[in-house]
Structure 1
Amino acid sequence: MSEKRVTKFYKLRSVLILMFFTSALFSQTTPFTITGKVFFDQNKAIEFGNAIALHPNDSSIYKGVPFENGIFKLEGIDRDSVLLKINAVGYSDHFILINRTNSDSVIDIGEIILKDNNTLNEITVTAKIPLFEMDGEKVKVNVEGTGLNAAGTALDVLRRSPGVLVNNNDNVTVFGKGTALIYLDGLLISSIDILKSLPSSEIKNIEIINNPSAKYDAAGRAVINLITIKNNLQGYNGNVIQNFLQGTYLFTYTGLRFNYTRKKISTNFSYGFNTGKQWNSDEYKRTYKLNDSANIEMNNYLYDVQNYSNNHYYRAGLNYRPDSITTLGLQYNGFYISRNNVSDNNNSILLNGNEAYGLHTNTKNLPLQINNGINANYSRKFDTLGTELFATMQYGNYIIGQTGKINVETKYNNQIFEEEKRNSNKNDIKIISAQVDLIKVFNKKWKLQSGVKESNIAKLSDIKFENKDNAGNWVSDPSYLNSFEFNENIAAAYSELKFKKKKINTRIGGRAEFTNSEGYSKAQKIINRQYINFFPSAYFGYDFTKDLITSLTLSSRINRPSFQDLDPFINYIDSLSSFRGNPYLLPEYTNSFEASLVYMKEANLTFGYSKTNGALRLVVDKLNDSTEAFTATTKNLNKSETFSFGVTIPYELEWWTTANYFGYFLNTFSYEQASIVVQNNKPTFSIYLYDEFRFKKWFSIELTYEYTSAGVDGIFVSKPFSMLNINLKKTFFKDKLTCRFVANDILSQYIMAGESNIPVYNIAYRSRVNTHYFMLALNYKFGKLKANTYKSRSVSEEEYQRIKFGK
């Protein structure tokens, strides 16, 4: 980076930090602490209870803390007068009015003796939890306490969520919006494999945000945030999970999750591993005119088997609360995935309908993926209104590589010619980031949230490809040999102001991001970009009644290319087929608008529009050489436009829950192929039907059906696909053991297929993965719990979503 650019960058960073700390000046107030001891007899302390500070005027809860062994310490009180309530199971509540008459930082109220409550009776409260809830800004999918709790994994829950599409490559998109950023407890996940290893029973709910506000990273078309269940009780609890999945092959998952909380410290740990096999198949058909009298047709069939034998997923966390207003957190995540993959590729080449020659390629790969990440965070509350400071730092290291042996047989004129090849590649990615956020609540009407963030990404990759000559020596192939070094720095600042009064709820905000990128291939600089972007967002909501609300949202987003897509690599399939990186990719920019009408937080009606400039999509081209080879690469199309409409209709009885989603969107893509501008558009319909039938004291049965009609995506026109699932659930031993039998994709119709819409040549594809299977899932809960508070906070990292991992 030149000296001028460096100066410009640091000036911008200084301005961003100054903007944030200007808003930080709003923080105020020095709180005080109330302490005391609680007994039920002169010498016998209350084992567990709660100390709660109430507002004296209306007895509403202001602050509270659990205690044990009769000693409580209620910190962070910044009001001159509070009503202290002491309660414990089996004893009458005790109230004391506390008035602060001086500047003492601690008020000790001495000993309190509680009286027995002889009228205590057992009370059972049964509440029906709706499957979906809407508030105009997001859709909340409740997992805990619903049939989705038994879906299998977190990824299975997303597959069963309305308006969310998961394709055969496990890419997650939101209907009518596009690619979504996926967060787990506020932390952007590094790999979809994390969701494959996370049991659905550990998820509390999922938030689907179609038009994210300025506080979220500007990347992605939408945001999906999975929130896990937190342990709010003293003691320990956990789950032992064993899944047996039988499709074409047997595949198993074994996992353990453990939580422990005592006083001010909370810890969590999880570990899982899987064994067995998975598979996927791909078919490609390419046809084009060689000249006026000759037509070429290529038919590829690829079948890939992944053998899982050494795959581990692990996660550990520690939270410490020195007082009731401060939290310190540390979280570690990682996985180690080592597979043995065998891939067979048969390519039949036809000339005017007759076989000219054939290629058979057998590839044995040893892919390896290693991830280690750590997150440290700090949060502190400043007043009773909700003013809070949050700071975090995060580091992640990713190693993605593989070695492979390739055997090629070429059949020509009844003769077979054999070749041996081998390749290896390695990607080493390091990401470090820091973020500070301040939420300042002025009163019940006004709230200001501001923050700054900086992230640095460094990527090193190396690719080697060798051919064995007639003498048995390995000779490097320079057309595939490459090394790539990529560095990127992103500095960001945001601020958003919220106002709420009676029936009106509004939000307006903006986010600024400065990006500096440099890339080197074979020691030559091929990427050198610096750019600043501003992303405005706004929300307006109006409550006609408490059950009927309407809202309008506006947002601006960016989607940067993945690190691997920028890498000028060549992924060899056969001598006529390959995938290639594109270092000249630019980010795509999207502006969107959405209007919605929500009834009773469950039924809703939405209309939306979005326009994307420079849309990133996969494109297939014929190479400009003497061969007939094709390659697939990601490119920037001219633009895309989407008009969308959706409606959700839920209904619930004591024995039956149903939720039905119907969506429609019209996609239009504009791109240039062989100097010809092509418009590719088609309306798409989506249906999602969910039904759960409960047979008391026996079992429950869950049915889900999804259907998506033909549509367009970039240069391709896709065909319809669907999925029908059945889930039977039965609990034993007072609900400690949950057994599920799942029949997934019963009709085997979850097939991604389509063909290209380009004037020069035609490409058809058909892709399948292991979705047709039967699964027996066992989940045993154990623990001994009492009473506590637990809190975990983490930073969101858009950069991690730009890392691609293999199947």
Structure 2
Amino acid sequence: MKNILAKTTLFLVLLIGFKGFTQNKEISIFGEIKDAVSKSTIPYATVVIADKTTKQVLGGTTSNEKGQFNIKTDATNFYVEISFMGFKTQKLENLDYNQNILNLGTIVLKEDSQMLNTVEVRAEVSKTQFKLDKKVFSVGKDIASTGMSALEVLNNVPSVNVNIEGEVSLRGSAGVQILINGKPSVIAEQGGNALGTITADMIESIEVITNPSAKYDAEGTAGVLNIILKKNEKKGLNGSISLNTGIPDNHSVGVSLNRRTEKFNLFTQLGVGYRSVPRYNENINTNKLNDTTIVSNGTNYRNESFFNLILGTDYHINEYNVLTLSGNYAYELEDQPSRTNFELYHQDVLQNKWYRTEVTDATNPKWQYELNYKKDFKDDEEHTLLFSALGSSFAKETSSEFDNTDVIGTNTNFNQQTAANYNQTDYTFKLDYTDPITETVTIEAGTQYLINDVGNDYEVRNLNNGVPQVIDSLTNNFEYNQKVLGIYGTTAYEGDKWGIKLGVRMENTDLKTVLTNTNEKNSQQYTNFFPSAHTSYKINSDVSLQLGYSKRIYRPRLWDLNPFFNIRDNYNVRKGNPNLLPEFSDSYELTGIYKIGKATMNTSLYHRYTTDLVERVFTIVDNVKTTMPLNIGTNKMLGIEVNGKYSPLKWLTFNGDFNWNTFDRNGKYNNQTFDFTGTSWSSRISSKLGLPADIDIEVTGNYRSSYKTLQNNVSDYAFADLGVRKKIMKGKAVINLAVRDLFASRIDQNESDNINNYQYSYSRRGRFFMLGFSYGFGKGEAMTYSGGRR
């Protein structure tokens, strides 16, 4: 009897303990959120768990990019509430769960038309999202972005820098591949100013990919910048308009329209404007062997009238098949008046003084057309097949006239004329397949074929008594043809805590160049493999780690290979190198993402090893500085980058970005050693202050340290931007005032000093004022809001 009683007591104790244990065990709740009409997923929707009796919130989360969410709770008497701006809130009660798992399946949200008509645009600073293999920087809500071109927007993105020449670098390194909507584009070419035709209000977001997976084109040793343009898909007629004006002249009008029906989504964007970009330059070239010095200074103007039209349509064949046809036409008219003053000294005694004026006119038409077909499979909306065919052309016809006028002495330079006819045609064909085999495992495969066909016909003429005479040694037609075939495959696992993505890409390159009048030909053909690996681990809700590796390539462009140079300044010229080889890099990166109270921060430690490094090396002969790209050895770079956001108060937010790196370069050329080490760092901090009456103030400060190159010492600089915003008409309209380079302190200075020569250059653009107005109608939003779902 005692034995039975003891066993019964033990059983009851274990039963009570087990019951208490099961009651305290967490319940895992997951599901997917979709738009009831379009059937598309809704990212960033709010999911809240609340107590049925007290209505107290017990926990919450937001859906991810795929509209999916996963949240846990140890409560038993609760309900789930799903909400998103512009949609009716869904409240889910009487929930049944088994084995502590609650699968809510697909939750559909219906549009709330009354709410959409009264929604206010919330003025927030841009933010950065972290994904397994990239960072996504949302654009369009910063005050100081008023009237900006795409190049100026890029200069506000963490990790990215755009110098005064318009050259883009990532973490201090050139060799950046710039894409538009994930594809190569003539608009993204760094050889010209095509990105200037895209304004900030056309951009949805910019993806910063420092370690791209094998899915991406392997071009760009520093990484990839992918500019995502806006395309609204809200039902009905939606649109917005923006007006901008500024000093120096910077005037533009932007219109965005979208019409969504059951089968069609028609979209268009139009940008028209005029801008004047003055730049003051100084140069000193000293030949120590004969004790002569050339000093020059002057202001160059780049005046541009631009027009940009994007027009396209999505045809929803059925629920699983969409056909998209789009076109982009851009046109620029350039006028570049300038005057440069020259002085020639021998043993510090002035020998000659003259000035050189330039009158340049150029027309730049650009076309781009694209056909996309996307197929979704019934088993999973992430199971897709995407085919795209893209064609583009860019032409630039330029004529320049240079006149030299003597002031003191007799100048031996002739008056000159130049003419250039540049044509570029590109074709890109892509096929991408994505299959989520399970909820956690996804495979990707695809191929891409890229054709670049470029020609540059350049002619220089001397004017003798007003009669033009062609200089044969400076005149030629350079033709460049490149074909790249790429094939890739990746596989990824993404669990609640841990994720990994592995991939490999094979690319075959076939490059041919020819100088037609001398019949000098150059041919290169090579096949390379580009592996990639990324992994992430979520330690807890506040701390995550990411680790990545990729191999990249930088292929020389036409301007790197063309041996003919522009004679805009006879004493500072640039030319290409037809024998230039591609450079390769291996990139490693470890990133920690963490949240501390009201602050969020991420820290990245990165290392990059580059072979056949391309460097621009100059020589000085008779006071003429000639710069040419060369393959100079190897480079090892080690760096650390920190990005953070802190909001101590609802009306005050700080954003910061800091990047430091050290490098070790080793190489030789023509018996000259180019071994050297150096460090550089840059930082950016911005603060946003919310005031009464819907007024916001934003201040951004930037600093770049001095650093060494192969032959130069580059000075540091600091500059600040200021912006003020006022919302009117219940947030449907916004007025912006921006001042860029508030103190006119963004100055580039380069200095080189050796046994034979001394060279110094100085460049400054100055202060810019901008005033902007934007208005959203229908269900559209004022253009200070990025236009995407939030």
Which bracket does the TM-score occupy, shorter chain normalised?
0.7 to 0.9
Distance in 1 (alpha carbons) for counterparts of 2:357 and 2:121? 61
Tell me by how many angstroms 1:165 deviates.
Answer: 0.8
Tell me by how many angstroms 1:306 deviates.
Answer: 2.4
Gaps of 5+ in 1: 1-56, 69-84, 96-113, 117-121, 787-791, 793-807
Partner SS state of residue 734, structure 1: helix
Distance in 2 (alpha carbons) for counterparts of 1:647 and 1:671? 31
Conservation of the 8 A alpha-carbon contact between 1:459 and 1:486: yes
Distance in 1 (alpha carbons) for counterparts of 2:566 and 2:314? 44
2:498 paired with 1:504: yes
The answer for the alignment partner of 1:187 in structure 2 is 183
Within 5 Å, give how 1:458-607 maps onto structure 2. 458-470=453-465, 472-523=466-517, 524-600=519-595, 602-607=600-605
Change (3 A) 1:211 1:276: closer
The answer for the alignment partner of 2:315 in structure 1 is 320
Question: Which consecutive segments of 4 or more residues in structure 1 shift more than 6 A?
Answer: 88-95, 122-130
Partner SS state of residue 560, structure 2: helix
Change (3 A) 1:373 1:357: same
Q: Deviations over 1:568-618 (max 9, x none)?
A: 222113444422222111111111111111114941111111121222232
The answer for the alignment partner of 2:216 in structure 1 is 216
Conservation of the 8 A alpha-carbon contact between 2:146 and 2:770: no
Q: One-letter code of the match for 1:253?
A: S
Tell me by how many angstroms 1:275 deviates.
Answer: 2.5
Q: CA RMSD in A?
A: 3.3
2:37 paired with 1:66: yes
Q: One-letter code of the match for 1:60?
A: G
Change (3 A) 1:67 1:405: closer
Conservation of the 8 A alpha-carbon contact between 2:632 and 2:669: no
2:245 paired with 1:244: yes
Q: One-letter code of the match for 1:775?
A: M
Change (3 A) 1:194 1:564: closer
The answer for the alignment partner of 2:200 in structure 1 is 200
2:174 paired with 1:175: no
Q: One-letter code of the match for 1:693?
A: L
Distance in 2 (alpha carbons) for counterparts of 1:621 and 1:123? 62
Distance in 1 (alpha carbons) for counterparts of 2:654 and 2:90? 43
Distance in 2 (alpha carbons) for counterparts of 1:276 and 1:710? 30
Question: TM-score, with normalisation over the residues of structure 1?
Answer: 0.78
Within 5 Å, give how 1:300-311 maps onto structure 2. 300-308=296-304, 310-311=305-306
Within 5 Å, give how 1:638-677 maps onto structure 2. 638-652=633-647, 653-672=649-668, 675-677=671-673
The answer for the alignment partner of 2:155 in structure 1 is 159
Question: TM-score, with normalisation over the residues of structure 2?
Answer: 0.80
Tell me by how many angstroms 1:129 deviates.
Answer: 7.9
Conservation of the 8 A alpha-carbon contact between 1:134 and 1:602: no
Q: Deviations over 1:54-93 (max 9, x none)?
A: xxx989348665179xxxxxxxxxxxxxxxx9xx989999
The answer for the alignment partner of 1:16 in structure 2 is none
Conservation of the 8 A alpha-carbon contact between 2:150 and 2:195: yes
Conservation of the 8 A alpha-carbon contact between 1:142 and 1:206: yes
Out of 435, 446, 449, the position equivalent to 1:451 is: 446
2:263 paired with 1:264: yes
Distance in 2 (alpha carbons) for counterparts of 1:702 and 1:409? 48
Deviation larger for 522-531 or 417-426: 417-426
Tell me by how many angstroms 1:126 deviates.
Answer: 8.8
Change (3 A) 1:548 1:136: farther
Conservation of the 8 A alpha-carbon contact between 2:147 and 2:244: no
Change (3 A) 1:436 1:89: closer
Conservation of the 8 A alpha-carbon contact between 1:756 and 1:763: yes
Conservation of the 8 A alpha-carbon contact between 2:126 and 2:139: no
Tell me by how many angstroms 1:423 deviates.
Answer: 1.3
Q: Deviations over 1:114-170 (max 9, x none)?
A: 9x9xxxxx9999998872333463333233556577574443332222221111122
Tell me by how many angstroms 1:301 deviates.
Answer: 2.0
Deviation larger for 691-700 or 572-581: 572-581
Q: One-letter code of the match for 1:717?
A: N
The answer for the alignment partner of 1:361 in structure 2 is 356
Partner SS state of residue 370, structure 1: strand
Change (3 A) 1:526 1:418: closer
Change (3 A) 1:237 1:384: same
Conservation of the 8 A alpha-carbon contact between 1:176 and 1:643: no
Distance in 2 (alpha carbons) for counterparts of 1:177 and 1:563? 20
Tell me by how many angstroms 1:753 deviates.
Answer: 1.3
Change (3 A) 1:333 1:385: closer
Change (3 A) 1:399 1:123: closer
Conservation of the 8 A alpha-carbon contact between 2:146 and 2:244: no
Partner SS state of residue 66, structure 1: coil
The answer for the alignment partner of 1:732 in structure 2 is 728
Conservation of the 8 A alpha-carbon contact between 1:539 and 1:552: yes
Give the paired residue count.
680
Conservation of the 8 A alpha-carbon contact between 1:264 and 1:320: yes
Q: One-letter code of the match for 1:346?
A: N
Within 5 Å, give how 1:401-420 maps onto structure 2. 401-409=397-405, 414-415=409-410, 419-420=414-415
Partner SS state of residue 565, structure 1: helix
Partner SS state of residue 573, structure 1: coil
Distance in 2 (alpha carbons) for counterparts of 1:430 and 1:91? 50
Change (3 A) 1:168 1:666: same
Partner SS state of residue 178, structure 1: coil
Gaps of 5+ in 2: 1-27, 40-81, 94-109, 113-117, 782-786
The answer for the alignment partner of 1:225 in structure 2 is 226
Tell me by how many angstroms 1:305 deviates.
Answer: 1.4
Distance in 1 (alpha carbons) for counterparts of 2:367 and 2:523? 29
Conservation of the 8 A alpha-carbon contact between 1:409 and 1:418: no
The answer for the alignment partner of 2:758 in structure 1 is 762
Change (3 A) 1:153 1:701: farther
2:330 paired with 1:340: no
Change (3 A) 1:230 1:547: farther
Q: Deviations over 1:753-781 (max 9, x none)?
A: 12236654332221223x51111111122
Distance in 1 (alpha carbons) for counterparts of 2:284 and 2:156? 32
Partner SS state of residue 155, structure 1: helix
Within 5 Å, give how 1:126-137 maps onto structure 2. 131-135=127-131, 137=133
Q: Deviations over 1:734-756 (max 9, x none)?
A: 22221111111111111111223
